[in-house]
Amino acid sequence: MEVDTTSIWIFRLRRAKKYPGQERCDGKVYVVTGADSGIGLEIVCDLVLRVYMGSRSELNGKKAFETLVNRGCDPQLMVIIRLHLHSFASICNFADQIFQREHKLDGLVNNAAVMFYPKFQMTENGHEYTWQVNYLGHALLTEKLIPLMRVPNSSRARILFLVSRLQSYFSTELDLKTVNTRDGWDRFAAYSRSKLALTIYAFALAKRLAADNASITVNVCYPGACFTRLLRYTPLNRNRIVRLCLKPFLWYFLKTAKEGAQTPLYCLLSPEVEHETGRYMSNFKKAEPLLLALDVEMQDNLFNYTLHVLNSFEMCTATS
């Protein structure tokens, strides 16, 4: 038994590589979505900088704030703002509040997500729920905040999108005509599609910002399979007995939220990747994305579709 226990901990310690960086980041400002739990909370905890935390509710935000303060974080450096990615109006309000408080932004971590949402549902903006929360919402937030990252004479800003390997579910095609249709919808495909779209959009945005000589990098990061609240809608997690039986196995095979935060922190802070853009990062190094994500025509189609959707919303609000 002693040998078995030792083996378990050796396995976990080998897997739990920690980002060792000691960069000085005084005065830098970051935005992290999904910052009230899981990987997002751990990123905030380790940044030790001024961070704007997107939170789904006042209660969740307050609990996260108390947790971070108890872990030694400076309460003066953390600002919690309610953010509902299923509402374009909420996203615009979130961005407006940051513009009112800051003149520049050094980094944006698009971390929040919903996984395997159990029912087909349309948002108030007329889009399938998972598609808007995971993809369109972050695209809108990114486009809104880019001007704060274009500030002259400031350091290179970094935009990071957290994605999933489950995007391989769509390895050959991403049909934008069916993203909001009920026919053929299933929770697994909806999640995978949204994460693939994030990767494609990130690569397209990276090219456009580079062509514009903007001092902004855009990268995609796979944090690894983690044991967090993201799993709350998985079918097996709905049965309490099954959940309790699975917990030791999930602990063993999946990363903790803190472990999952390490590669994102590397992407945000390390001088090794300061000039890298349009990359897919995993386990502290560049990895190969799906070929579809590199397809130039697909990148252009998705980017144009996205701008059309977002501009349509802006036009509606301007005339309402």
Closest CA to 102 of 145, 55, 157: 145
Closest CA to 236 of 118, 72, 110: 118
Q: Which amino acid is at 77?
A: L
Active site (annotated) includes residue 191 = yes
From CA 301, how far away is CA 296, in angstroms rounded?
Answer: 9
Q: Which of 30, 52, 191, 266 is catalytic?
A: 191
Cβ–Cβ under 8 Å, residues 105 and 30:
yes
From CA 166, how far away is CA 189, in angstroms rounded?
Answer: 9
* Catalytic residue positions, numbered: 191
